[in-house]
Amino acid sequence: MTDPDAKANLVRYLREARESLLGKLDGLSEYDMRRPLVPTGTNLLGLVKHVAVVTAAYFGEVFDRPFPRPLLSLTEGAEPNADMWAGDNVHEADEAWWAAYRDRLEATARSFA
C-alpha cells in the first residue's frame, strides 16, 4: 500500500526543514553566521552549505539531473567535514552563491512535480 500524499508530504517536509535552517540565519551578522559553535568548527553557514551540497548531489543523481557546476569543490586531501563550515576564505555569503543555492532548491522542487 502506498500513501497517495507521500510526494506532497516529502516536498513539504524538505521545504519546512530548509526554511527552518535558513531562518536561523535571519538577523545574524556575517561573523555570527561563520562563528564555530562546536569543537569541529561547524557553523550555521556551514550547515546551510552542507545541506545545499548534499541536496544538489543526491537529487541530481537520483533524478539524473546533475547540476552544471558544483556549489562546492573540495580539493583532494581536504578535511573530511570541510563542507560543514564556512571560514573567512570561503564566500558562501555572497549573492552568486545564494543564487546558485536557490536554483538548486527550485530544481529539486521541480523534480517532484
- 36-49 tens-digit pLDDT: 888 888 888 888 88
Residue 60, in any domain of the structure = yes
Please tell me the total count of domains within the chain: 1
Distance set, CA 44 to CA 29, 37, 51, 102 (Å): 11, 8, 11, 17
Band of pLDDT at residue 93, cut at 50, 70 and 90:
low
Domain range for residue 59? 6-111
Band of pLDDT at residue 5, cut at 50, 70 and 90:
confident
Beta strand extents in the chain (DSSP E only): none
* Rounded-to-integer distance, Cα 105 and Cα 53, Å: 11
- Contact present, 35 and 43 (Cβ < 8 Å): yes
Residue 1, in any domain of the structure = no
Mean pLDDT of the chain: 76
